[in-house]
Amino acid sequence: MIQLQEQWGAEHRMKDFDYNTLMSNERVLLDWLLTMERKGSAMVRNTPQKDIAGPELIEHIAYVKQSHYGPHSPVINRPNTNNVAFTNAKLGMHNDLPQYEHMPGIIFIQCVAQHPGAGGESIVTDGLFAAEELRRNHPEDFKILSSTDMYFWDKGHANYSWEMPEFYKIAKFPVIRINGDNEVVQIAVNNAIRDSHMDLPPQEVKKYYAAYKRFHNILYANAMTFKMEQGEYCYRGPLAGRDNSSCNTALHCTILSHAMLYTPRGAD
């Protein structure tokens, strides 16, 4: 019997799996899939040092979901980028690609090269856990964030031949998305592409930002921090961030069809 999703806080530690074993042992592969469904995160070690290692693993279980970045995206310092992810600046807690109407449910991050010095740590947190904490302790804030649309947008151009030459994506929906049964089904947080425009009267804006700040406080208070090593592959359904760093860490990001994740926890 498949267990329901299990929410977690700062004490959480991701379960480890071996890349080659996942590719050859179906029992371990099933354990990995169930772990991702229950916990929303897992670590894969001993990943081959090649760009297509992620897509090959994904195609072993489903298919790669294309975005305007193509089938995978090198997360490195890029000249003239419009995306803070492609710099060595700190990344706040966020989900990837909320400017899409159908956000990714599963993101795979492969560490191709890691800076040996300070900086570059990853921060992950369970958005579903934070949302339920907010609902339990601050119901009015939960109501605001689950009923008020936020705009997300991203505009840019390609850096690689497989990317869309130009793109301009816009979407809007609440930070906390609930279904007809009042269950939290998705989190959408990304200040880097959040629009300043809001469909709110001025007197309601302060209330909204107070609720949004409280939600952020809960996200960070229950986050776990770790530093990926070369050859590691981190599956992310939770929200995540990156520590401020002057290092040159190289990552590859691949998206699995979101249909594989029944309740996206929100996503680096």
Instruction: Please give the radius of gyration of the chain, using alpha carbons only, rounded to the nearest integer.
Output: 18
Beta bridge partners of 184: 178
Burial of 7 from C-beta contacts in 10 A (0-12 / 13-18 / 19+): buried
At residue 181, the pLDDT reads 92
Establish if 10 belongs to a structural domain. Answer: no
β-sheet bridge partners, residue 233: 44, 110
The position carrying tokens 């956000």 is 103
- Is 57 among the domain residues? yes
Token representation of residue 143: 């109501």
* Residue range of the domain that includes 43: 16-260
Spatial contact of 167 and 68, defined as CB atoms under 8 Å apart: yes
Residue 163 in any domain: the answer is yes
Tell me, what's the pLDDT at 82? 66
- Segments of the chain with pLDDT less than 70: 1-4, 74-77, 81-87, 89, 115, 119, 233-268
What's the CATH number where 189 sits?
A: 3.60.130.10
Strand order in the sheet with 16-18: 16-18, 41-45, 233-236, 106-113, 250-256, 72-75
Report H helices in the chain.
19-24, 26-39, 53-59, 127-137, 139-147, 202-221
* Domain count of the fold of the chain: 1
Determine contact, residues 189/95, Cβ cutoff 8 Å: yes
Q: Is residue 118 part of a domain?
A: yes
Is 170 a member of any domain? yes
Residue 68 in any domain: the answer is yes
Question: What does the block give as tokens for 73?
Answer: 């995206």
| pLDDT tens digits, one per residue of 247-256 | 444 454 544 4
Instruction: Give pLDDT tens digits for 6-40.
Output: 787 778 888 999 999 999 999 999 999 888 888 88
Q: State the Cα–Cα distance between residues 41 and 124, nearest whole angstrom.
A: 9
Residue 79 lies in a domain: yes
Is 38 within a domain? yes
